[in-house]
Amino acid sequence: MSFAGIILVTLVVTSLVLSWLFNSFYFYTKEKELVSQGEEIAGLFSASLGEQANRETINFLTARSLRTQQDTRIMIVGREVLDSSLNPGPGLHPLPLEPADGQKLLQGRAITWQRQIPRSNQTILTAAVPFTYREQVAGAILLSTPVADIRATVSAVQRLILYSAGVAILLALIPAYCLSRSISRPIKQMSALTLEMARGNFRQHIPVTSQDEIGRLAENFNQLGVELEQTINKLSREKTQNENILSNLAEGVIATDLAGKTTLLNPAAEYLLGLEQKKALDQDLASFEGCQPLGALFKKVMETGEQGSLEFTLSGGKIILSARVAPLRGRDQVIYGAVGVIKDITEAKKLEQLRRDFIADVSHEIRTPLTSIQGFTEALLDEVTIDRTVQAEYLKVIHEESLRLGRLINELLDLARLESGKISWDLNPIHIPDLFAGVLLKLKPQLEEKNLRIEQKIPRDAPILPANEERIEQVLINLLQNAIRFSPPGGVIKMQASFSGEEVTISFTDQGPGIPEEDLPHIWERFYRVEKSRSRALGGTGLGLAIVKQIVEIHGGKVLVSSREGIGSTFSFTLPLAPA
Ligand code: ADP
């Protein structure tokens, strides 16, 4: 439509300009022609007047003019008419002259004018050329010709131009349509492409059909698509990577917006805080059970813009968590939220407590014999005259206490080595009856001292056990020693070995005081004693069972205890028959 409009406007303007030019040129030529004819006649006329020319000459001239220009009328007017035209007066018929034109005529120059004839719609073009007599303007030759036909020609030309404009528009519409389509098609394609890009599809490609601006635009668009895809791929790779890191992190990560609503929660945080991502996202962090202190810390960090940390408990104090929260700042350094890292420190806290207890226990265990050694040595030093028997008694105590200290330290070192897992030992084929016999021999004095009887139950076909002989012997001695220690004098201790499938179970049953049920689960812990003073009085260090448990477990076995107060206890352990 715009093309058609442009063509129309151009042709209308062209036709107007052309017809104006045509008009002016025609009139100009006509005027020129009339003036030159007039000048020719005026020249001849002047000359003939000067030479007293006769009437025939004039007639001849007039006749000639009439013959050549049939529509041209020639009129000769005298000076009086010219003068009266400038100064109208009665009598003469004046010419329709402007004063300036009249002056020009009187100065000897030709003039022209047009006159419209109202009824016939004709234009009469008139040229007035002055002629002279004796160097004076004596009158003028007027040549008039109608120019109606030229207007008709001009309007015919205009019509022609308009018709051709119509045809031109019709013809131009086809290439214009093709041209506009060639422009609009790539633009439409680009528009569709941008929509596809908005949906995340960058694989579209616009065919580049030209080398002009549109072609370059299409090329740039294709390039833009490729680069956008690369950038987005890169970004999404980074995003996936970050998400993977976040979801595989052992620490919980949680983020909130300025209002304290959670915006991110990794699986570890879900697990630690006991939340579900679906329900927790976009909810106030402080509204979750047990998370009030955490929510308050997030708010404080966002208000102050400084990092903060906190230890808090969940599930009624069973789980201890530590959180470290930092503000999240945008490029403009404005805080838009906060992110916190949460760690489960329950185990670490427990270990710390264990270490503290252990140090306290060890100090306590060491202090007791040390105090008694100090006390007796001081007594020996202070009392100058001391009974020899008392002296011997004191020294015996000192000796026993120092032996206990030595045992304690040895067992502690032993246990530390066992627990560190750095210990490695050889497995020897052990013949259980021999091992039992050896242990009994070693503890014979203690057994005899308390007048204890041993009942052994070992199957004849006992298989060979792969284990470290020295360590297993230590286990047997520890257990038998305990049984001896807690057995009443004259009691019976049962030593049993039984084989079932792939393991051997060895047990010691005594007739001692037994162990209260509430103490049974703790009996294998270091320094755990049911009755501290009694056990110590019996020479125990509180480490024997802990060492037994370590040795048995390193061999791939298990320790068991069952006991009834007032009746006795059975301590047993299993060992695999195939090496662990
Ligand atoms: P200790 O060197 O003090 O005996 P153990 O680790 O061997 O240390 O034993 C820990 C505690 O278990 C003892 O103090 C005692 O209270 C209890 N215990 C061990 N063996 C027996 C047993 N046969 N009968 C009753 N109590 C026992």
334-352 pLDDT, tens digit per residue, is 999 999 999 999 999 988 9
Alpha carbon of 425 to ligand 1 centroid (Å): 27
**Would the CB of 524 count as within 6 Å of ligand 1?**
no
Closest atom of ligand 1 to CA, residue 523: 12
Residues of 403-440 as b/e, b for ≥16 C-beta within 10 angstroms?
A: ebbebbeebbebbeebeeeeeeeeeeebebeebbeebe
Pocket test for ligand 1, best of 414, 452, 482 (most atoms within 8 A of CB): 482
What 3-state DSSP class applies to 569?
Answer: strand
**Given this model, what pLDDT does residue 67 score?**
44
**Would the CB of 523 count as within 6 Å of ligand 1?**
yes
- Mutual orientation of helices 346-382 and 388-420 as an angle, nearest 10°? 160
Alpha carbon of 562 to ligand 1 centroid (Å): 13
Alpha carbon of 482 to ligand 1 centroid (Å): 6
Averaged pLDDT, 492-519? 92
**Would the CB of 482 count as within 6 Å of ligand 1?**
yes
Report the DSSP beta bridge partners of residue 324.
309, 341
Closest atom of ligand 1 to CA, residue 539: 2
pLDDT band at 117 (very low <50, low <70, confident <90, very high): confident
Q: Please tell me the distance from the alpha carbon of residue 498 to that of residue 573, in angstroms, as a whole number.
A: 11
- Nearest alpha carbon, ligand 1 atom 18: 482
What 3-state DSSP class applies to 260?
Answer: coil
Closest atom of ligand 1 to CA, residue 568: 24
200 φ, ψ to 5°?
95, 10
Higher pLDDT, 559 or 126: 559
Averaged pLDDT, 500-529? 91
**Predicted confidence (pLDDT) per residue in 435-482, tens digit:** 999 999 999 999 999 999 999 998 888 888 889 998 899 999 999 999
Cβ count within 10 A of residue 326: 15
Counting other chains too, the contacts that 100-109 makes at CB distance below 8 Å and 24 or more residues apart are 105/130, 105/137, 105/140, 106/82, 106/130, 106/137, 107/137, 108/132, 108/137
**Given this model, what pLDDT does residue 219 score?**
87
**Would the CB of 568 count as within 6 Å of ligand 1?**
no
**Would the CB of 483 count as within 6 Å of ligand 1?**
yes
Considering only CA atoms, which of 569, 527, 123, 535 is closest in space to residue 363? 527
- Nearest alpha carbon, ligand 1 atom 4: 540
**Predicted confidence (pLDDT) per residue in 70-92, tens digit:** 578 888 877 777 777 777 666 56
Higher pLDDT, 56 or 13: 13
**Predicted confidence (pLDDT) per residue in 370-419, tens digit:** 998 999 999 888 877 778 888 899 899 999 889 989 988 988 888 888 88
Q: Please tell me the distance from the alpha carbon of residue 548 to that of residue 528, in angstroms, as a whole number.
A: 14
Pocket test for ligand 1, best of 535, 561, 563 (most atoms within 8 A of CB): 535
**Would the CB of 510 count as within 6 Å of ligand 1?**
yes
Q: Please tell me the distance from the alpha carbon of residue 127 to that of residue 41, in angstroms, as a whole number.
A: 12
Alpha carbon of 479 to ligand 1 centroid (Å): 9
Beta-strand pair 453-457/492-500: parallel
**Would the CB of 515 count as within 6 Å of ligand 1?**
yes
Q: How far is CA 147 from CA 36, 39, 150, in A?
A: 17, 20, 6
Alpha carbon of 505 to ligand 1 centroid (Å): 20
Dihedral Cα 31, 36, 37, 43, nearest 10 deg = 140
- Given a cut of 70, is residue 536 above it in pLDDT? no
Q: Please tell me the distance from the alpha carbon of residue 75 to that of residue 140, in angstroms, as a whole number.
A: 8
**Given this model, what pLDDT does residue 309 score?**
95
**Would the CB of 529 count as within 6 Å of ligand 1?**
yes
**Would the CB of 411 count as within 6 Å of ligand 1?**
no
Alpha carbon of 435 to ligand 1 centroid (Å): 23
Q: Please tell me the distance from the alpha carbon of residue 49 to that of residue 132, in angstroms, as a whole number.
A: 9
**Would the CB of 544 count as within 6 Å of ligand 1?**
yes
**Would the CB of 340 count as within 6 Å of ligand 1?**
no
**Would the CB of 252 count as within 6 Å of ligand 1?**
no
Chain-centre distance for alpha carbon 229: 14
Sign, CA torsion 349/353/354/358: positive
Averaged pLDDT, 157-168? 80
Residues of 467-480 as b/e, b for ≥16 C-beta within 10 angstroms?
A: bbbebbbbbbbbbb
Closest atom of ligand 1 to CA, residue 530: 16
What 3-state DSSP class applies to 18?
Answer: helix
Alpha carbon of 548 to ligand 1 centroid (Å): 12
Alpha carbon of 422 to ligand 1 centroid (Å): 27
**Given this model, what pLDDT does residue 57 score?**
52
**Given this model, what pLDDT does residue 534 score?**
62
- Regarding pTM above 0.85, the answer is no
**Would the CB of 535 count as within 6 Å of ligand 1?**
yes
* Cβ atoms of 394 and 380 closer than 8 Å: yes
Q: Please tell me the distance from the alpha carbon of residue 8 to that of residue 5, in angstroms, as a whole number.
A: 5
Alpha carbon of 364 to ligand 1 centroid (Å): 18
Alpha carbon of 344 to ligand 1 centroid (Å): 35
Alpha carbon of 535 to ligand 1 centroid (Å): 7
Beta-strand pair 335-344/428-431: unpaired
Alpha carbon of 469 to ligand 1 centroid (Å): 23
pLDDT band at 63 (very low <50, low <70, confident <90, very high): very low
Averaged pLDDT, 154-177? 81
Cβ count within 10 A of residue 205: 13
**Would the CB of 487 count as within 6 Å of ligand 1?**
no
